[in-house]
Copies of this chain bind each other. A is one copy, B any other.
Amino acid sequence: MTAFEQLLQDEAREIETVLDRLLPAHARPEGRLVDAMRYSTLGGGKRIRPFMVLKSCELFNVSRIGALRVGAALELIHCYSLVHDDLPAMDDDDLRRGRPTCHIKFDEATAVLAGDSLLTLAFEVLANSDTHSDPTVIVELVLNLARAAGVEGMAGGQMLDLVAEHHALEIPEVTRLQRLKTGALIGFACEAGAIMGKAAEPVRHALHAYAHDLGLAFQIADDLLDVEGDAAVVGKKTQKDDAHGKATFVSLLGLERARAQAKMLTEQAIGHLDLFGAKADPLRRLARFVIERRA
């Protein structure tokens, strides 16, 4: 394990602890709902989005407690989206991170409610005064996270993805789909530090540009993993894009050009971090990690 992988793992463990505290199991009849939320949130995952939050916050010396809360809130949104995307009416997936998906482990109704409740909890976590001492900052976090998760962001991208099953998409459309579906949350993750640290516009813009390029590289890497990955390592079904006839960067560009494009975007993303000096090294390493990972 490289030093970076160790750092990633350590931070993931701390986010796991925060998420665990935010989701206390209880014995009441509705405890089944909390069980489903815990099942869908805890127990692994690389926690790449919270990592981006933590490292963008470190650029501005933001309080660690606040950064962890924002990272956890973002991960709750990410986990809710996985629970709902896996539903039979959506992608109909039985396996996630090597375990049965929420609606298989529990049932479909519980999975719908667990997703709803994780989404709701994310905003409750943000709105707590522990997140930031300045309520203006909290309001900006809520606004930006809601936008990133909603129609103009992740949910809109997921809708595009559903519509795309009946249309052959070209590169510009796949790019737009991915910028919404995965890019919007990554954008929030990287801008969170600038919001929390009340950074000036050019600085915030640099982080936005980094997230923009990294988000696409991340998606291309995911598409490559879907084609080249081993289901046992990736922890979910692979080659399902091809089975569904979905247009991906790999199907549109071919393996070689997709790989080159991901590499180019990664270098471009890293270029946007120049103004931060050595402090941004974790974000630089993350960019390289994203396209080199095997799972």
Contact = CB atoms under 8 A, between A and B. Distances in A.
Nearest to A153: B120
A267 to B, nearest CB: 31
Q: Is the interface of A mostly helix, strand, loop or mixed?
A: helix
A146 B127 contact: yes
Contacts of A256: none
A104 interface: no
Contacts of A108: 89
A264 B242 CA distance: 63
Contacts of A1: none
A163 B124 contact: no
Contacts of A231: none
Interface residues of A, number: 55
A126 to B, nearest CB: 7
A151 B34 contact: yes
Interface of A: 29-30, 32-34, 37, 80, 84, 87, 89-90, 107-113, 115-117, 119-121, 123-124, 126-129, 135-136, 138-140, 142-143, 145-147, 149-151, 155-160, 162-164, 167, 173, 180
User: Which are the 3 A-B pairs with shortest beta-carbon distances?
Assistant: A89-B108, A124-B146, A127-B143
